[in-house]
Each structure stands twice: as C-alpha cells, then as structure tokens.
C-alpha cells in the first residue's frame, strides 16, 4: 500500500474540482457536449435492447435526490476493446468513453480495425445490474465516487481512480484511500481503456427499466440486454465470434444482481452453457439454476463434471456503496480471486501465444494448447487436471521395501487419543497420501484409494505416508489399539518425540471429549462414533502457504498444486513406488516443502505456469512481507500469543489471507485453540444446532456473522473450542456418514430438506413480488 502522498492528494483534489466545474458548466449550457439522444429507428437484433443512455432528459431527475417518481431509463452499450479502442478513425467510439458518439447501428456494422490487432479477445464479461442515477447523469459506468468498482480495478490493473477525493469535503475517502496500491491517476476514459485492453468487457444485465432511485430491488418492468448473443459472438454482424472467447461472467452487484441474471437467463443454464463459480456466494445463489441444468442435462453430463466450453458465472460482493456489509479489503480480495487474477492469467496466456504466431482472436483454450505444443515439456513436467489424473496407488507392500532396516515403532497412544483416519485427511493438512493395503488384479483390496480420487480420505484407511517433519518421509499406520510409525527417509533420531509434538499428544483428548459431551448432547453421540479427532501442530510456514493455495479450491487440486510447488522449490527426499490400475509400477518423487530462502528467486510468472493461477501473486507478496516481518521466527512468536483474535488480525495483513484462512493457520499450526475457521459448512452447523437466527437477514458470511458463528462455539465449549468445532466438522464429511448414529444422520438430512424448502418458498415469494 503506497504511503499517503500530499502531492497526489492535491492533484486528485484539483482534478476532482475541475471535473465538477466542467460538469456544472456543461449542465448549465444549452449548447453542445451532451451525449447523443436515443435513435428510435435503429434496427437491432433481439428486440431494440442496445441503447445509449439519454442523460439529457435525466440530468434534472438525477439531481433530484428525492426520486419520488419512477423513471424509465436505458443502459449503456457494452464496453469492450472493439468499441472502445478499435475504430476506423482512431478515436474512441464508446458513447460514454469520450466526447463524440458513434451510433450503435454503425458500431454494429463496423469491422475490426486491423491496426488494433494488439487487443485481446474478451475473456471476462463484468455485468452490473443497471446504471445508477449518478452513472446516467455523468455518462460513466460505476460513476458514484464511493462505488468500489474502479478502486478495485485500479488496484488490480495498476492505476488509481481520479475521483478518490470527496467532491464535498475535498478530503480522500478513508475507506479507499488508505488501501490503494498505485499512484498513477487516470481519468475515466483512460480507466475504461486500461480495463478493456486487458480483455475485460463491461455491460449491464438490464437494458431498460422503471426505477425509483438506484437500488436494484426497485427495478420494475425491465428488459434484459442480449448478453447471450454478445457472449456467443452473434450480435455484431461483421465481427467474428472468435473474438469473444468469454470464459467467465462476473456479477458485480452481489446476490441481487445474480438473482436478476438468473431470472432472465435461466434457459442459458438449462441449456448446459453456464456453470456456477467455485466460490461460496456463486454456489449458493446459482444452486437452483444449476440443479435445473443438471436435470436437463443428466444424460449428457456426469454429475459435477466441468465442461471447459461452458462459461463460468461468478457472483462477487457488490461494489455499490449500498453493499456495506463487506469492507473494501474484503471486496478487493474476492474480486481479485474471482475476476481479475483469472482474467489476467488468460490475458498473459494470450500475450504468450502472440510470440508463437497464434491469431489474436483465437480462443484462450486454443491459445494454451498451441503454446504447449510449441514448447514441448518433458514427460515428468506435464501438468494434468486433478480430475483427469491417472489413477495411481501407493501400496503398503511396495513401501515395505523402502528402508527395510527401519521397523515400525509404537507411538504409544491409545485409540481414544488419536485416530489418524479422522485427523490426517480431513482438511487441516495437505501433506499426507493414503496408502492401500494391497493390490490384486488392478484393484485395491481396501476402499481407500489414491488422493486423486478420494479428496477427503476415508474413515477406514489404515496407512498414510507424508513429510510432516521437513527432512523426513514417514509412514503412519493405525491399528485397533494404537498408532505406529516408520521412517522411510531421513534421520531417525528423535522422530517419536517430534511426532508426539506434531499430534499434540501433550494434550489429553479423552477428558475433552467427556467435557464437550456434557456441553452438547449431539456432540456426545458423534464423539462415540468418531474417536481420536485431534488438531495437528504443523510447521507454520508450510501451513500458511498451503492454505493460501486452498482458497476457492478443492482437496485434489490443492494437493496437485502443492506437489508442483514442492517439486519446483523443495528438496528431493525419496522416490515412492506407485501402481496404476493396470498394475504397472512407476515412481512418485517426494520433495520437502520449500523454505523462504528457496523461494527467494520465485516469480509470479513461474508460479502461474505451475498452475497456481491468481494465488501466485499472493504467494510472492506473502513471501516478501513475511521476510520483512522476521520469517519463521515471526510465525513461531505468534504461537506464543494467547489471543486468537489478535493472531487473526496479524495474519490477515498478508496477501491472500482472509479471516477463515487466518483462523485455519492459527488453529492448525499456531496453537490458537480458540480459533474457529468459519465457512458455509460450519455456519450450517451453527444454524442447525445452536442458533437458527445466526445468519439473520444476511445472505452470506459477513465479518459480523463470522464472529457471531465463532462465538457460538466458543461460548458452548469453554476449553479447546477449535478442537470441538473440528470434531463436528469431520462428522459432516460424506466419508464418515456411515459410522454416525442413524438419528444424527436423519437430523442432518431433515434440516437440509427444510432449508431447501425455505429457500424455495423465498424464491417463489420474490417471483410474486416482481410479477
């Protein structure tokens, strides 16, 4: 974050004042400079939906703050490089990007300017709902000075919005100014050019509507824009569809905007051409639409399969000033993860393709394929999609041939104190692989399979191999009465003591189970079914970088990412024998987790090529800040703190670490036993078992709700609430469903059905209100 600069502040203040005077003079004059009026007789496909706004008739309405009567307004035309940068007269043609407007009928028929081949195909379409009163008045998208859109875009794309200063007080908006990263101030036309030149496009869901004020909830009698035609490249007559390789649609106004999108484009989902984004907000708001899509496409798509040709629809926290439940930093973090980082990754792939002579309007998927063909890699370096990884297995008898001189040693811990099956592959660490008992005819005898297929392990796995102690590779075996270990690689001295510290065996678990069972009758039933669930004490450095990679991700992909990360920057430890389904024996190289020093020369580009995506930037920024703070010593010092909330505040200073990730690091590596990582699953536990009103009227986990949910666990379980929370979380995993009492499973299912019924009723009620 750049320090406060008085010269920048003065410059921004003068610029803001100048723009305000210019607007006042323009509004006071009856002469030129006003945007073009709506052309009523223009011929446009899919009904006449593509209109320029008509601020001439709206300026008085926009300045009337009361907005007592509904006004019918029309949205802007889509902003993408084809109509912002690519014109025949070398001037911006976008109706609200600069003075002078090209009629849309002419724009629609215009061919791409060959001189603008440097512009990328559109990969990301960002959709507002409908322009606000201020936006229509100023003829600018996201024009309100407290709308976060251009601040976030600037932080992601290397500029600072010109209106970072309040026009009334002359002072910077503290909620934005204190966090802005860059010093280069751009005016609106240049902001627009910067964003579209990177392959992003801007538009609105609603083409025209009646509305009092600017709230999305007040939109009535609306007509949607032809967004599907735009995405499929069929809107412009003479611009080929290959220039619209759109991979994601980003909803800019939160769940309200997403619901409006679903209302008008349900058929697009059911046609199997859209899929919900991976973040919790997208999964929740598009759940009903995706269920309809699955039913409609049941015969053509496997449940949960991802078709790379399908456009991802991502719902992100609203950028409007009205969306106040998220802080600017929380909004920026989500937007970088869901929009700008993956979009810039596509842009960089396109840039790389140009070096190999690939046409600029080739789809990004083709680009990446061509790039891979032109730069052959060794067989070992080929990156597979986690869902398409060849099925391989680690077999216990094969591992027995490694270091045969090292025997199995008893960790001397009874079953009620530790069950690795309920601890190692349940989401708190990612450095353990499941080992099969034996291998017969291409099929493992046990239900436990490789991590590529079993994301969360299984409750009946009995052996694992991992590297929890830096320079050692260790096998862990669970028996009916105790836990054994064997060193496969590395020094053997002190391993037993180190493993006891790793599993935190200095803390007796049985008394805690007994205490928690008295405090929660439901947990008492779970405790009898799932003994030995412990919190491990991971290396803080490894835990921190691992959970940065866990953001908006699944366990197989996290495991694959971290495996590549280890291989690139870690130290080689051992080759483990593996078997494919056909029985063929191969080898899996095992590496230690990278140290700060080994990451010193790592670059964001290197990490992106390894498949880390937008997380690459977070890894580099966190590495640099951690080094300044003192490295591993800084993290180990946090382990001595007794205030979990203070530790959380320390950790969220690092790039890519929000409250949930911070609490995961605190609980799983820093001995912060009061930390409660809250995601939608934990919120469901709290709502179902402790307080059905915990979510209130909110539709997502805001900072206030996050703290409220955590307090429900802390208030109920006075000792080691983070451990109790983890036991309840493990019970929610599908792989443990069969060991739970029938009445506990029945309660889960009934609550889930009831929640689905309530959501359906709410949806039907909203339909009635809008009809």
State the Cα–Cα distance between residues 668 and 542, nearest whole angstrom.
11
Helix (H, G, I), strand (E, B), or coil: what is residue 393? strand
Instruction: Report in angstroms the alpha-carbon separations of 117 from 39, 110, 112, 196, 577.
Output: 30, 15, 9, 14, 50
CA neighbor of 192 nearest in space, from 146, 161, 147? 161
Ramachandran class of 723: left when φ > 0, alpha when ψ lies in -120 to 50, beta otherwise: alpha
3-state helix, strand, coil in the chain (%, to 5): 45, 10, 45
DSSP structure class, residue 172 = B
Instruction: Report in angstroms the alpha-carbon separations of 170 from 4, 27, 213, 484.
Output: 15, 22, 25, 68
State the Cα–Cα distance between residues 581 and 617, nearest whole angstrom.
37
What DSSP string describes 321-335?
TT-TTS-HHHHHHHH
Q: Measure CA 163 to chain center.
A: 28
Q: Which residues, including other chains, have CB under 8 Å from residue 275's CB and lie 6 or more apart?
A: 290, 293, 306, 307, 310, 311, 312, 313
β-bridge partners, 73: 209
Q: Are 142 and 149 in contact (CB under 8 A)?
A: yes
Q: Are 312 and 346 in contact (CB under 8 A)?
A: no
Question: Out of 660, 707, 758, 768, which one is annotated catalytic?
Answer: 660
Two structure tokens written together for 709? 């949910």
β-bridge partners, 315: 251
State the Cα–Cα distance between residues 747 and 233, nearest whole angstrom.
49
DSSP structure class, residue 165 = B
Determine the number of helices (DSSP H) and then strands (DSSP E) in the chain: 30, 20
How many other CB atoms are found less than 10 A from the CB of residue 249?
24
Q: Are 398 and 470 in contact (CB under 8 A)?
A: no
Two structure tokens written together for 284? 């929740």
Q: Are 159 and 182 in contact (CB under 8 A)?
A: yes
State the Cα–Cα distance between residues 572 and 163, nearest whole angstrom.
52
Two structure tokens written together for 431? 């450095």
What DSSP string describes 474-521?
EEEEE-SS-EEEEEEES--TTHHHHHHHHTTTTS-SHHHHHHHHHH-H
Q: Are 224 and 207 in contact (CB under 8 A)?
A: yes
State the Cα–Cα distance between residues 760 and 767, nearest whole angstrom.
11
The torsion angle over the Cα atoms of residues 519, 520, 526 and 529, rounded to 10 degrees, is 40
Written in H, E and C, the secondary structure of 537-553 is CCCHHHHHHHHHHCCCC
State the Cα–Cα distance between residues 626 and 643, nearest whole angstrom.
20
Where do we find the tokens 């290959």? 242
660 is catalytic: yes
Q: Are 311 and 247 in contact (CB under 8 A)?
A: yes
Q: Which residues, including other chains, have CB under 8 Å from residue 381's CB and lie 6 or more apart?
A: none
Helix (H, G, I), strand (E, B), or coil: what is residue 202? strand
Which residues are designated catalytic? 660
């Amino acid at each position: 974050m750049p320090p406060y600069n008085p010269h920048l502040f003065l410059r921004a203040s003068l610029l803001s004042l100048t723009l305000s005077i210019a607007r006042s003079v323009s509004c006071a004059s009856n002469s030129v400079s006003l945007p073009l009026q709506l052309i009523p007789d223009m011929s446009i496909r899919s009904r006449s939906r593509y209109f320029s706004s008509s601020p001439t008739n709206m300026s008085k309405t926009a300045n009337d703050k009361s907005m007592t009567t509904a006004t019918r307004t029309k949205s802007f035309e889509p902003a993408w490089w084809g109509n912002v940068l690519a014109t025949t007269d070398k001037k911006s043609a976008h109706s609200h990007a600069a003075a002078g407007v090209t009629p849309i009928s002419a724009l629609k028929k215009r061919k791409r300017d060959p001189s603008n081949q440097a512009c990328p195909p559109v990969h990301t379409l960002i959709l507002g709902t409908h322009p606000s009163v201020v936006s229509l008045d100023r003829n600018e998208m996201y024009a309100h000075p407290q709308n976060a859109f251009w601040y976030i875009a600037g932080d992601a794309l290397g500029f600072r919005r010109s209106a970072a200063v309040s026009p009334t007080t002359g002072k910077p908006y503290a909620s934005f100014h204190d966090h802005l990263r860059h010093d280069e101030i751009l005016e609106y036309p240049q902001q627009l050019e910067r964003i579209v030149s990177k392959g992003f496009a801007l538009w609105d869901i609603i083409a025209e509507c009646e509305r009092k004020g600017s709230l999305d909830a007040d939109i009535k009698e609306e007509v949607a824009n032809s967004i599907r035609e735009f995405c499929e490249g069929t809107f412009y007559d003479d611009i080929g569809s290959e220039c619209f390789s759109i991979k994601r649609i980003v909803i800019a106004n939160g769940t309200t905007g997403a619901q409006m999108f679903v209302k008008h484009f349900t058929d697009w989902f059911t046609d199997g051409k859209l899929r919900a984004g991976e973040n919790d907000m997208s999964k929740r708001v598009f759940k009903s639409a995706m269920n309809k899509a699955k039913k409609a496409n049941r015969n053509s798509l496997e449940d949960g399969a991802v078709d790379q040709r399908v456009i991802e629809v991502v719902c992100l926290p609203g950028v409007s000033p009205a969306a106040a439940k998220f802080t600017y930093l929380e909004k920026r973090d989500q937007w970088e993860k869901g929009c700008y980082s993956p979009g810039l990754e596509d842009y960089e792939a396109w840039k790389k393709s140009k070096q190999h002579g690939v046409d600029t309007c080739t789809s990004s998927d083709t680009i990446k394929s061509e790039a891979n063909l032109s730069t052959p890699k060794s067989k070992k370096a080929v990156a597979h999609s986690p869902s398409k990884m060849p099925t391989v297995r680690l077999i216990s008898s094969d591992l027995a041939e490694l270091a045969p001189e090292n025997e199995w040693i008893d960790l001397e811990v009874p079953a009620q104190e530790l069950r690795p099956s309920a601890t190692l592959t349940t989401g708190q660490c990612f450095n353990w692989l499941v080992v099969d008992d034996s291998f017969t005819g291409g099929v493992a005898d046990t239900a436990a399979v490789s991590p590529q297929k079993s994301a969360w392990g299984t409750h009946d796995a009995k052996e694992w191999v991992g590297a929890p102690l830096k320079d050692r590779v260790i096998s862990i075996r669970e028996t009916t009465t105790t836990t054994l270990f064997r060193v496969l690689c590395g020094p053997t001295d002190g391993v037993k003591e180190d493993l006891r510290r790793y599993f935190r065996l200095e803390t007796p678990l049985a008394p805690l189970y007994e205490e928690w069972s008295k405090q929660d009758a439901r947990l008492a039933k779970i405790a009898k079914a799932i003994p030995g669930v412990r919190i491990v004490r991971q290396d803080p450095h490894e835990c921190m970088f691992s959970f940065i990679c866990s953001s908006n991700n699944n366990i197989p992909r996290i495991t694959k990412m971290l495996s590549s990360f280890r291989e690139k920057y870690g130290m080689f430890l051992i080759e483990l024998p593996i078997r494919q389904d056909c029985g063929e024996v191969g080898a899996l190289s095992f590496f230690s987790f990278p140290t700060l020093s080994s990451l010193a020369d790592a670059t964001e580009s290197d990490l992106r090529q390894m498949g880390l995506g937008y997380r690459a930037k977070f890894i580099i920024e966190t590495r640099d800040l951690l080094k300044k703070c003192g490295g591993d010593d800084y993290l180990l010092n946090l382990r001595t703190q007794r205030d979990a909330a203070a530790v959380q505040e320390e950790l969220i200073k690092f790039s890519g670490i929000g409250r949930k990730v911070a609490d995961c690091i605190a609980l799983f590596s820093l001995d912060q036993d009061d930390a409660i990582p809250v995601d939608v699953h934990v919120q469901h536990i709290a709502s179902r078992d402790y307080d059905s009103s915990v979510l209130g009227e909110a539709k997502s986990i805001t900072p206030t709700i996050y703290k409220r949910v955590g307090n429900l666990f802390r208030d109920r379980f006075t000792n080691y609430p983070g451990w109790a929370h983890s036991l309840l979380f493990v019970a929610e995993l599908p792989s443990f469903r069969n060991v739970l009492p029938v009445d506990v499973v029945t309660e889960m299912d009934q609550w889930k059905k009831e929640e689905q019924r309530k959501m359906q009723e709410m949806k039907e009620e909203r339909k009635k209100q809008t009809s």
